[in-house]
Structure 1
Amino acid sequence: MIEEQGAEELEQDDLYEHFRFVASDGQVPLRVDKFLMNFIENATRNKIQEAAKNGNILANDVAVKSSYKVKAKDVIRVVLEHPPHENLLVAEDIPINVVYEDDTLMVVNKPAGMVVHPGHGNYSGTLVNGLIHHIENLPKNSNERPGLVHRIDKDTSGLLVVAKTEQAMTHLAKQFFDKSTERVYHALVWGNVVEDEGTIEGNIGRSLKNRLQMSVFPDADFGKPAVSHYKVIERFNYVTLVECRLETGRTHQIRAHFRYIGHTLFNDARYGGDAVLKGTTFTKYKQFVENTFKALPRQALHAKTLGFIHPVTNEMMRFDSEIPEDITTALERWRAYTINAKEEH
């Protein structure tokens, strides 16, 4: 059972509770830093260990070290000196790659590594912090997030549209709801995708085993309907470059769908794509893959194309972005490696 709390002041030491997790009855002994890594989005083990060192991680109301083993029914709490939502919407002068802008909306090209909106563990440096510095009085969506109509993951690069007026927010949100927008991604996935094109369907919802992952539930017992269409662009024997067109926009949709069909995204650590795919005896294969991971230190996913109807002019707007250098470098390396592998064999 997981309980994510609001700001609850702990009067004895002036700390505020940010997270509370109750270990399940079947919890096997597990280091608390590893336990928290499974539940706190965007957390790093170093941050968690630092929090434990400062006495900010409690097990059954007692401060514990990061090596503490979580057991069944343990109550694990993360407490910090500031309230959970303090300064979430502070304007920051952050460079934003603006592709297009008018009085109604803005289209930005988000780099990999930038979080879209503030949240637990990311109180600054987000796209929203930058947007409210550059634009006054951004409208808020139903989740109180200024300007946001949709979002992409921290380590996914690519195009986002931002609403600058209430009218634009409503109009664009309806387009995403009605599935009338155009969203095209490029992804490098593990394995040789057999079919030249296809459709992946299956409800997507929060994993029952790891709350930071999304799972596909083909029997529709959980989650929400999700549809992804794909087409193979280029094959490299061990990995495949695909184009993905989203019919729906669920959290981690492409990442979860491709893992479901056995083709996890290249270097997608959260879904196991950072493991070296076995099945080759070619010289120095493992070293090559690990070096390519270093050149592309995130999941190989880019939101390349975005299309929608302008809320005021009713004109069809379509934007395309270049594939980022880190993905391009990985593709060039796989291209050369595939050629060399053929020549050696």
Structure 2
Amino acid sequence: MPDNGTNTNDAQIYSLTVSDIEKKQRLDRFLVQHLPDLSRSRLQALITDKCLTIDETIVETPNYRLKPGQKVSLTVPSAADPEPVAQDIPLDIVYEDPYLLIVNKPSGMVVHPAPGNSDGTLVNALLYHCGDDFKGIGGVRRPGIVHRIDKDTSGLMVVAKTDECHQGLVQLFATHDIERSYNAIVWGFPKPSADEIRGNIGRSPKNRKKMAVVPTGGKRAVTHYKTLEVFSHGAASLIECRLETGRTHQIRVHMTHIGHPLLGDPLYGNQSQSKIRNLPAKAQGLMKTFQRQALHAKTLGFIHPITKENLSFSSELSIDLKDLIISL
């Protein structure tokens, strides 16, 4: 049985004893059962990093088979500081508890630091907001980003604070047990007004910077859409999309594939002057300065991986999308 862990030089040490019924069990599986707060991949990394001993002898193989009565000692180093710096950037936090938070990301904010966007990202803001509340995702004190939305897409995202919660959310996304809906403004009037779009998504063979529905290869992608409102005699429409899968640019690619790209989309949209001239005068003026895809992550719902509560959230459309809808 494990003790509760002892702190030594900012490290956590766990002492375990192998029972009779655990003989011949794999070492990594044994640890997962006794230390559920740590993911299996994290435990395997600690083993290979020589952080574990059995009867005071270092063991580096996760598939080591255990014997009854053996004394297992695991040293978990304190979470390392993250490479991105914490920055005091205002956040719209919709919900927060010790394990996760829901943030309403604004358009224009990148999720992760990357070349060209080394700071000012959601991760930088979360590091400042949460500080030591992050318990170490994979051994690093950082936010557990489970899914992303594009820089110029606004709306809801869930972020894990602990390794255990992160693994639970990853599993929910893998099994498609997350309810997500998006609002988008598209060119034209989709027919039928509600339908399912199926088409594997992969890199476009014509432009490697774009994704596309590909005839072979790619990843399975399914989008369910329905039309909520039609504007200007069918010149544009407000639609709701629900994702069965979560591929890069999925809604943008699928709606373009059926001939209804998103308004303002700089990568996939067809912003021809003839289309813009079919819009009301005020909307024509707005489209001259509307520099992002008209897409908002509207709702998010799931069973909390730790507390098992049924969580459901909804966010209002951003001001620029509201103004665009009013003008239409």
Same fold (TM over 0.5): yes
The 1-side partners of 2:276 and 2:324 are apart by 20
Question: Is residue 132–residue 138 contact of structure 1 (8 Å, CA) maintained in 2?
Answer: no
The 2-side partners of 1:331 and 1:209 are apart by 33
Equivalent position amino acid for 2:326 in 1: E
Equivalent position amino acid for 2:95 in 1: Y
Q: Deviation string for 1:181-206 (max 9, x for gaps)?
A: 00000000011112121000000112
Structure 2 length-normalised TM: 0.69
Q: Deviation string for 1:225-280 (max 9, x for gaps)?
A: 00000010001110111000000000100000000000000010111343335496
How far does residue 153 in structure 1 lie from its aligned partner after superposition?
A: 0.2
- Provide structure 1 residue ranges, at least 5 long, that are not aligned to the other structure: 1-86, 335-345
How far does residue 145 in structure 1 lie from its aligned partner after superposition?
A: 6.9
Question: Is residue 283–residue 327 contact of structure 2 (8 Å, CA) maintained in 1?
Answer: no
Which residue, 306, 321, 324 being the options, matches 1:327? Answer: 321
Q: Deviation string for 1:119-176 (max 9, x for gaps)?
A: 1211000000111122223544799973201110000000000000011100011000
Write the mapping of 1:104-253 to structure 2, written as runs, cut at 5 A.
Answer: 104-135=99-130, 136=132, 137=134, 139-140=136-137, 146-217=143-214, 219=215, 221-236=216-231, 237-253=234-250
Question: Is residue 138–residue 147 contact of structure 1 (8 Å, CA) maintained in 2?
Answer: no
SS of the equivalent of 1:271 reads coil
Per the alignment, residue 33 of structure 1 pairs with: none
CA spacing shift, 1:279–1:332, aligned 2, 3 Å: closer
The 1-side partners of 2:242 and 2:136 are apart by 28
Question: Is residue 98–residue 107 contact of structure 1 (8 Å, CA) maintained in 2?
Answer: yes
Q: Provide the aligned C-alpha RMSD in A.
A: 2.3
How far does residue 90 in structure 1 lie from its aligned partner after superposition?
A: 1.4
Per the alignment, residue 308 of structure 1 pairs with: 302
Equivalent position amino acid for 1:177 in 2: A
- Provide structure 2 residue ranges, at least 5 long, that are not aligned to the other structure: 1-81
SS of the equivalent of 1:129 reads helix
* Moved segments of 4+, more than 6 Å: 141-145
CA spacing shift, 1:112–1:138, aligned 2, 3 Å: farther
CA spacing shift, 1:278–1:96, aligned 2, 3 Å: closer
Write the mapping of 1:245-264 to structure 2, written as runs, cut at 5 A.
Answer: 245-264=242-261
Identity of aligned residues (%): 50
The 1-side partners of 2:263 and 2:221 are apart by 21
The 1-side partners of 2:218 and 2:301 are apart by 26
Equivalent position amino acid for 1:228 in 2: T
How far does residue 298 in structure 1 lie from its aligned partner after superposition?
A: 1.1
Structure 1 length-normalised TM: 0.66
The answer to whether the aligner puts 1:297 opposite 2:291 as a matched pair is yes
CA spacing shift, 1:155–1:144, aligned 2, 3 Å: farther
Question: Is residue 222–residue 243 contact of structure 2 (8 Å, CA) maintained in 1?
Answer: yes
CA spacing shift, 1:271–1:279, aligned 2, 3 Å: closer
SS of the equivalent of 1:269 reads coil
Q: Which has the larger radius of gyration?
A: 2
CA spacing shift, 1:239–1:141, aligned 2, 3 Å: farther
Q: Deviation string for 1:300-329 (max 9, x for gaps)?
A: 000000001111121110000001111111
Question: Is residue 184–residue 306 contact of structure 1 (8 Å, CA) maintained in 2?
Answer: yes
How far does residue 291 in structure 1 lie from its aligned partner after superposition?
A: 1.3
The 2-side partners of 1:215 and 1:144 are apart by 36
The 1-side partners of 2:209 and 2:280 are apart by 28
The 2-side partners of 1:100 and 1:184 are apart by 18
Per the alignment, residue 43 of structure 2 pairs with: none
The 2-side partners of 1:288 and 1:141 are apart by 50
The number of aligned residues is: 243
The 2-side partners of 1:199 and 1:141 are apart by 37
* Larger displacement relative to structure 2 (304-313 or 132-141): 132-141
SS of the equivalent of 1:332 reads helix
Q: Deviation string for 1:65-115 (max 9, x for gaps)?
A: xxxxxxxxxxxxxxxxxxxxxx95111111111000000100000000000
